[in-house]
């Protein structure tokens, strides 16, 4: 699928392996989520629009560039929260809009419980942050909400995807590129990615 970007960057592969490890404790797990998010966002934002500008150095004038588009970070509560901070440090001018969706454990369908988006879009580029692209239901619904809001340029950044999630998201939103560190084997009968890393929310927040 040409809208899926699976990084094979050495740092990402190294950190992903530590993230998956069942022995990795919540503090280290949160650090790794933060670092992987920065690296994946670096890949996802390489085509952000720039305006040319000039800058005065101690030695004279140099050609420069400045970002022209306002970026929105959209973490999906709660597992997406750990992805915000590092990316925000790279883009301090970004706005952060939270969307709360949980997956009904019985139906596996997303249920919305928090959304405070303003009436009109305030950003030109939306980065949806959710580490695990499992069934794809939550991602599809989040992007439905953003498109109804009026968002035009949306990108999904996750850490691990299942093929089922990639297929569902690509089918529902073929215009949304997907950036992940890995696409794993499959989903199990209760909707967890195999081999995955377990529950990304529990492992970040120590609630397993
Ligand atoms: N959410 C998780 O946290 N892990 C999975 O494997 C699937 C969904």
What is the pLDDT at residue 152? 93
Share of residues in the chain with pLDDT > 70 (%): 100
The structure tokens 């959304």 sit at 115
| Band of pLDDT at residue 46, cut at 50, 70 and 90 | very high
- Distance (angstroms) between ligand 1 centre and the Cα of 138 equals 11
What is the pLDDT at residue 90? 97
Tokens of 185: 């084997």
| 8 A C-beta contact, residue 132 and residue 108 | no
Q: Does the beta carbon of 165 lie inside 6 Å of ligand 1?
A: no
Nearest to 4 by CA among 129, 182, 143: 182
The set of long-range contacts for 140-143, using a CB threshold of 8 Å and a minimum separation of 24, is 140/110, 140/168, 140/169, 140/172, 140/173, 141/101, 141/110, 141/112, 142/74, 142/76, 142/99, 142/101, 142/110, 143/169, 143/172, 143/173, 143/176
Query: Can you spell out the DSSP letters for 58-127?
Result: TTEEEEEEEE-S-EEEEEEETGGGGGHHHHHHH-TT-EE--EEEEE-TTT--EEEEEE---SS---SEEE
Calculate the CA 200 to chain-centre distance. Answer: 13
- Distance (angstroms) between ligand 1 centre and the Cα of 137 equals 12
Q: Does the beta carbon of 196 lie inside 6 Å of ligand 1?
A: yes
Active site residue 103: yes
Does residue 39 register a pLDDT over 90? yes
Active site residue 34: no
- Distance (angstroms) between ligand 1 centre and the Cα of 199 equals 5
CA distance 163 to 184: 7
Share of residues in the chain with pLDDT > 90 (%): 90
| 8 A C-beta contact, residue 140 and residue 172 | yes
The closest residue, in CA terms, to atom 3 on ligand 1 is: 199
Does residue 105 register a pLDDT over 80? no
Per annotation, catalytic residue among 2, 57, 106, 107: 107
Which pTM was predicted? Answer: 0.94
Active site residue 184: no
Beta-carbon count within 10 A of 170 CB: 19
Q: Domains (ranges, CATH) in the chain?
A: 4-49+68-205 (3.40.50.2020)
Active site residue 106: no
């Amino acid at each position: 699928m040409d809208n899926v970007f699976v990084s094979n960057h050495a740092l990402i592969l190294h950190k992903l392996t530590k993230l998956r490890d069942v022995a990795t404790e919540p503090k280290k797990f949160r650090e790794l989520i933060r670092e992987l998010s920065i690296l994946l966002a670096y890949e996802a934002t390489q085509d952000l629009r720039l305006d040319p500008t000039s800058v005065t150095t101690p030695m004279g004038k140099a050609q420069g560039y400045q970002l022209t588009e306002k970026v929105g970070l959209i973490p999906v509560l709660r597992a997406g929260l750990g992805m915000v901070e590092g990316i925000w440090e790279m883009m301090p001018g970004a706005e952060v809009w939270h969307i709360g969706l949980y997956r009904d454990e019985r139906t596996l369908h997303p249920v919305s419980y928090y959304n405070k988006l303003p009436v009109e879009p305030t950003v030109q580029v939306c980065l949806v942050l959710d580490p695990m692209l499992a069934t794809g239901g939550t991602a599809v619904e989040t992007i439905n909400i953003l498109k109804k809001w009026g968002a035009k340029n949306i990108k999904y950044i996750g850490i691990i995807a299942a093929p089922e999630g990639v297929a569902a998201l690509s089918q529902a939103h073929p215009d949304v590129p997907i950036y992940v560190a890995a696409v794993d084997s499959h989903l199990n009968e209760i909707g967890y990615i195999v081999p995955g890393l377990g529950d990304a929310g529990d492992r970040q927040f120590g609630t397993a």
